[in-house]
A and B are shown apart, each in its own frame.
Chain A
Amino acid sequence: MKKAILLIVIAFTLALLILSGCAHKTVKTVSPSLYGTVDATPIQSQDESPSTVTPSEAEDMGDVFSEIEDEFEEQSLKVADPLESLNRAVFYFNDKLYFWVLKPLAQGYNFVFPDFARKGVRKFFRNLLTPIRLTNCILQGNATAAGTEFVRFVTNTTIGILGVWDPALDLYDLKISDEDLGQTLGVYGFGNGFYIEWPVIGPCTLRDTVGRIGDWFLYPVNYIEPQEASLAVWSFDKVNKTSFRIGDYEAIKKTAIDPYTAIRDGYIQYRNALIKE
């Protein structure tokens, strides 16, 4: 029964992915020629310095501005967001979930457990993610990274006592390769599809959702029986992770004008950077 539901979900998302055309949606915000006329006046603003110039003088569209503006226009890669109103509702839910549940839990947890214990837990779960990273290193054709992940796993699981310690990094400087199926699909040329904000999980796209489902099978915690125990372990990992990041979300929110857009675009930029690596 569980399997049947899962298969339906996978089939559904795959169908959506295909229907959405899988392509990047490049939106060039404005064609420069439309506003070309405005550029006619400027040229002098090159010698403005922030220390001497009062903001009101900074109105010319100088050469520097044009050149740098081109850079941002070329790179403006926007993600389609057809579910925006639904996504915003889920974002609101996740926001409350963080402030009312996750943050107080993580703060209490933070208070009870010393730093080294929390770090050990983080490393333990990171080690459990090795099958996902290793598989995706192979899928991306990166033999060196795959080899490193393998050696890391063997070293950390044995000498590192089930992964709570990271001797591979500390002693041999073997760095983690944070690969996942979403990135692999990106490397294969699949676009984001569109943006999805999942309850609890947070920012995602159609492509990364498919990736997460694929990775789900490679994560040992998901095979714990009964399912309640699996969920409990998963939640413990989430609280532990959050305990290191208290304040990050608050900082983003505080400095954002529209936190939903800030996080959506931040997520897309972050994922694009990871795929490029």
Chain B
Amino acid sequence: MELNNIEKSNKPAKVLVMRALFCAVLLLMTPGITIAADNRHAAEALLKDKLDSVILILQSKNLDIQGKRNEINNIVTPMFDFSLMAKLTLGRKYWPGLTKEQKGRFTVLFIDLLKDTCLEKISLYTNEKVVYQGTVKIKNKVHVETDLISGNSTISMLFKFFKSSNGWKVYDLEIEGVSLIKTYRSQFDEVLRKGTIDDLLLRLEKPEKN
């Protein structure tokens, strides 16, 4: 195409080649730009979007606490990779030793517990503000640091994302430096060092027994 143009037109060939090159460079750059933007800020943008919706729900006066919990659950769930989180709480040390059936049961029970943890307190908040403190990228992971401001107190929350084929997913959440996954890891380790996986599953089913 460009070659034809060069032959037909009166313009100096050099200009046309330059133009072609310019177009080519532009074309090459576009995906580059989107990839860069994707890596750096997509996770933060996703988080912002989700948290804004959550705050809207929290402020709404038409919903009772149970209604709020359900709505928040629907908004937030797609952002988390719960089955990965379940695996991480057992880690290399224990996860491979589970049977397929145990893995399934553990994952279901753990997700229930985790959702309880996250939704327990959040639905009681009403007038909170989230301040974004910055994003750190570590290989395929992005850590978004936020401050939850509630009245006079500030709670730091670190959302840890990894890049999955379905976009950014949260694999851990740190509140005031305390990691959800780490805290469960040491508890499960404690139970499994003294007992079996069945003991752990039983305790996950009936946590109030302890």
Contacts and interface: CB of A to CB of B under 8 A. Distances in A.
Q: Is the interface of B mostly helix, strand, loop or mixed?
A: helix
Contacts of B165: 46-47, 49
A64 B92 CA distance: 13
A64 B185 contact: no
B182 A265 contact: yes
B92 A257 contact: no
A269 B84 contact: no
B91 A257 contact: no
A169 B151 CA distance: 12
A266 B92 contact: no
B190 to A, nearest CB: 5
Which of B111, B140, B184, B200 has the most CB atoms of chain A within a 10 A radius of its CB?
B184
Contact of B96 (A53, A61, A169): A61
B182 A75 contact: yes
A55 B103 contact: yes
A269 B186 CA distance: 12
A266 B178 contact: yes
Q: Is the interface of A mostly helix, strand, loop or mixed?
A: helix
Contacts of A261: 186-187, 190
B83 interface: yes
Given A55-B107, A261-B187, A273-B176, A72 B88 contact: yes
Interface in A243-277: 247-248, 251, 254-259, 261-262, 265-266, 269-270, 272-274, 276
B166 A49 contact: yes
| Range, interface on chain B | 35 or more
B77 A51 contact: yes
A59 B97 CA distance: 11
Interface in A1-42: 29-30, 32, 35, 38
Given A55-B108, A68-B84, A251-B121, A258 B191 contact: yes
A56 B103 contact: yes
A257 B84 CA distance: 19
Interface residues of A, number: 51
Given A64-B164, A69-B91, A258 B108 contact: no
Interface in B45-94: 77-78, 80-84, 86-88, 91-93
Contacts of B172: 68
A142 interface: no
Given A46-B165, A64-B84, A262-B183, A55 B91 contact: no
A30 B108 contact: no
Nearest to A32: B92
A58 B103 contact: yes
Contacts of A78: 186
B81 A257 contact: no
B187 A72 contact: no
A96 interface: no
A73 B187 contact: no
Contacts of B121: 247-248, 251
Contact of B120 (A35, A47, A255): A255
A50 interface: yes
B179 A257 contact: no
A65 B87 contact: yes
B41 interface: no
B185 A38 contact: no
Interface stretch (B25-33, B126-134, B202-210): B202-210
Contacts of A119: 152
Which of B80, B116, B165, B182 has the most CB atoms of chain A within a 10 A radius of its CB?
B182
A35 B93 contact: yes
Nearest to A84: B190
Given A50-B81, A55-B111, 9 more contacts: A29-B189, A46-B165, A67-B139, A255-B117, A255-B120, A257-B188, A258-B187, A265-B187, A270-B178
Interface of B: 77-78, 80-84, 86-88, 91-93, 95-96, 100-101, 103-104, 107-108, 111, 113, 116-117, 120-121, 124, 139-141, 152, 162, 164-166, 169, 171-172, 174, 176-179, 181-191, 200, 203-204, 207-208, 210
11 contacts: A48-B164, A51-B77, A53-B83, A67-B140, A68-B141, A76-B182, A257-B187, A257-B210, A258-B191, A265-B183, A270-B178
